[in-house]
């Protein structure tokens, strides 16, 4: 198989963007660091507002988690509403719940407005109960989400089986607000839209140093310097250098494998409506079909780690358990991406200096939240109004034992997959 840093999405991306490295000094109103969903959304927002903006990406657009994830455009966070309110309080919690509940609508509206070719399907997502206890968890989530105004539906096993084409589940929670996309194409499409609106996009331009003096920021790259009144740092789990502003998080890897495109007969009985799915397992499984009919199945784990053999063996076993008719389907490609996990699973906005904000910690739900956070950070900086932000900014965010916790998650995922690959 190919290098796990190379995703299927790189091979199937139809969006194109002409961008080059920064090779001269530049002065702008807003500088954005990072070319994922958050950074591209911020750059697009600023450009549409008519201010000068540049985006600096150290690799290529969507190089990090934005170009390697499953492609589920979910509504909300992993946490049910009651837990969000317990962490943030009623007022802030309700605002975040409302903003992220509408995030899929924001994403699909941008796709339509800018003609982004990213295979958008908005037929909902299915949170599938892998056990009886998992279904009880979905009942709790359904109750809380419904009370918050979400149009979710709790599905019994027989309906879940018809929608997924699998008899492995005890039920599911359908969220019709959500959908699926080709994730890298969406990131590239946002960058292309920002460029069309007047943003200057630079790739292969890592920021090596940044300092604030005389009321301005100065960002240094190998090819030139950028001076800016304000900065959005949107590096999330792919932060390189700039240790003074590095976000604190637990790095967690999530991998995916893809089959070759399935036959029309198989596609007719597996996820016929195109929902994206994940289950209630402690070590979660996700699965969906892409536009060409490839089955894409994933779970927690680092394919560059010694546990790769256990992860790949588990995928084959899991695929056969979910869909026995796919037991002999070869896995033609595997890749992984890095997630920035916070201990409370709530994204953070930090004030990294005067007129400078950083966001991170989407904990595996970057598409909708990243789009929303990027837009609102740009609006806040341009209007000098922090009340625009989706969560109150903090001067600093710390996480303890991040290295040990990363090792704990990876070891747990590898052991779980090693055992389950053999039973």
Q: Which domains does the chain have, with CATH numbers?
A: 8-124+177-420 (3.50.50.60)
Predicted confidence (pLDDT) at residue 143 exceeds the cutoff of 50: yes
Which H/E stretch holds residue 224? strand 224-233
Would you list the DSSP string of 143-200?
A: HHHHHTT---EEEPHHHHHHHHS-S--S-EEEETT-EE--HHHHHHHHHHHHHHTT-E
Determine phi and psi for 10, rounding to 5 degrees: -65, -35
Q: Among 187-196, 219-228, 310-319, where is mean pLDDT lowest?
A: 310-319
pLDDT at residue number 418: 57
pTM: 0.95
What is the average pLDDT across 63-72?
95
Mind listing the pLDDT tens digit for each residue in 44-66? 999 999 999 999 999 999 999 99
> Predicted confidence band at 95 (pLDDT cuts at 50, 70, 90)?
very high
Confidence tier at 288 by pLDDT (50, 70, 90): very high
Any bridge partners for residue 298, and if so which? 256, 286
Does an H or E element contain 285, and which?
A: strand 285-289
Interval 263-281 mean pLDDT: 96
Residue 272 scores a pLDDT above 50? yes
pLDDT of residue 176: 98
Q: Is the pLDDT of residue 409 over 80?
A: no
Q: Tell me the pairing of strands 72-73 and 179-180.
A: antiparallel
Measure the CA–CA gap between 320 and 58, rounded to whole angstroms: 39
Burial of 401 (0-12, 13-18, 19+ CB in 10 A): exposed
Burial class (CB in 10 A: 0-12, 13-18, 19+), 282: exposed
Per-residue pLDDT at 258 exceeds 80? yes
Reading the block at residue 392, the tokens are 């109150």
- Mean pLDDT value across residues 58-79: 96
337 phi-psi bin (left φ>0, alpha ψ -120 to 50, beta other) = beta
Cα–Cα dist 12/133, whole Å: 38
Nearest to 188 by CA among 17, 6, 8, 371: 17
- Average pLDDT of span 269-290: 95
> What is the average pLDDT score of the chain?
93
What one-character-per-residue DSSP string does 348-367 give? Answer: EEEEEETTEEEEE--TT--H
Residue 228: is its pLDDT beyond 50?
yes
Query: For residues 347 and 363, what is the distance between their CA atoms, to the nearest angstrom?
Result: 7
Dihedral pair phi/psi, residue 172, rounded to 5° = -160, 160
pLDDT at 282: 83
Q: Please say if the pLDDT value at position 423 is more than 50.
A: no
Burial environment of residue 231 by CB neighbours within 10 A (0 to 12, 13 to 18, 19 or more): buried
Q: What is the DSSP letter of 10?
A: H
Q: Percentage of the chain surpassing pLDDT 70?
A: 94
Residue scoring higher pLDDT (415 or 399): 399
Q: Which helix (H) or strand (E) holds 212?
A: strand 209-213
Residue 346 scores a pLDDT above 60:
yes
pLDDT tens-digit series, residues 178-196 = 999 999 999 999 999 999 9
Whether 414 has a pLDDT exceeding 80, the answer reads: no
Instruction: Give the pLDDT of residue 403.
Output: 67
pLDDT digit string (tens) for 102-113? 999 999 999 999
What integer pLDDT is reported at residue 142 of this predicted model? Answer: 98
- First-to-final CA distance of the chain: 25
Choice between 241 and 17, residue whose per-residue pLDDT is larger: 17
pLDDT at 412: 64
């Amino acid at each position: 198989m190919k290098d796990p840093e190379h995703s299927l999405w790189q091979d199937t991306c139809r969006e194109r963007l002409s961008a080059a490295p920064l090779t001269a000094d530049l002065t702008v109103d807003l500088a954005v660091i990072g070319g994922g969903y958050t950074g591209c959304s911020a750059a697009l927002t600023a450009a549409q507002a008519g201010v000068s903006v540049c985006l600096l990406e150290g690799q290529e657009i969507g190089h990090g988690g934005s170009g390697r994830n499953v492609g589920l455009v979910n509504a909300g966070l992993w946490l049910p509403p009651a837990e969000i309110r317990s962490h943030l309080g009623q007022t802030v919690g309700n605002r975040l719940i409302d903003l992220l509940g509408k995030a899929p609508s924001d994403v699909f509206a941008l796709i339509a407005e800018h003609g982004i070719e990213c295979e958008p399907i908005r037929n909902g997502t299915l949170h599938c109960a892998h056990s009886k206890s998992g279904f009880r968890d979905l009942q709790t989530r359904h109750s809380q989400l419904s009370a918050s105004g979400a149009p979710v539906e709790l599905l019994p096993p027989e309906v879940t089986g018809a929608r997924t084409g699998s008899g492995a589940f005890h039920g599911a929670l359908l969220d019709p607000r959500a959908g699926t996309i080709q994730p890298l194409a969406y990131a590239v499409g946002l960058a292309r839209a920002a460029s069309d609106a007047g943003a200057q996009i630079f790739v292969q331009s890592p920021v090596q140093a940044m300092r604030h003096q005389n009321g301005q920021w100065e960002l240094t790259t190998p090819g030139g310097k950028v001076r800016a009144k304000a900065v959005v740092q949107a590096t999330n789990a792919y932060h390189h250098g700039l240790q003074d502003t590095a976000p604190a998080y637990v790095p967690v890897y999530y991998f995916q494998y893809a089959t070759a495109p399935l036959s029309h007969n198989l596609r007719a009985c597996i996820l016929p409506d195109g929902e994206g799915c994940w289950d209630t397992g402690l070590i979660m499984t996700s699965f969906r079909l892409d536009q060409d009919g490839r089955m894409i199945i994933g779970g927690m784990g680092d394919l560059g780690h010694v546990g790769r053999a256990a992860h790949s063996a588990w995928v084959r076993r899991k695929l056969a358990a979910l869909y026995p008719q796919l037991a002999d389907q070869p896995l033609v490609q595997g890749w992984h991406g890095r997630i920035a996990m916070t201990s409370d699973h709530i994204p953070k906005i930090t004030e990294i200096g005067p007129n400078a904000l950083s966001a991170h910690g989407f904990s595996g739900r970057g598409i909708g939240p990243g789009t929303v956070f990027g837009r609102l950070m740009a609006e806040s900086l341009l209007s000098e109004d922090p009340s625009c932000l989706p969560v109150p900014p903090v001067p600093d965010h710390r996480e303890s034992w991040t290295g040990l916790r990363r090792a704990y998650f990876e070891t747990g995922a590898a052991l779980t997959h090693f055992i389950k690959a053999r039973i």
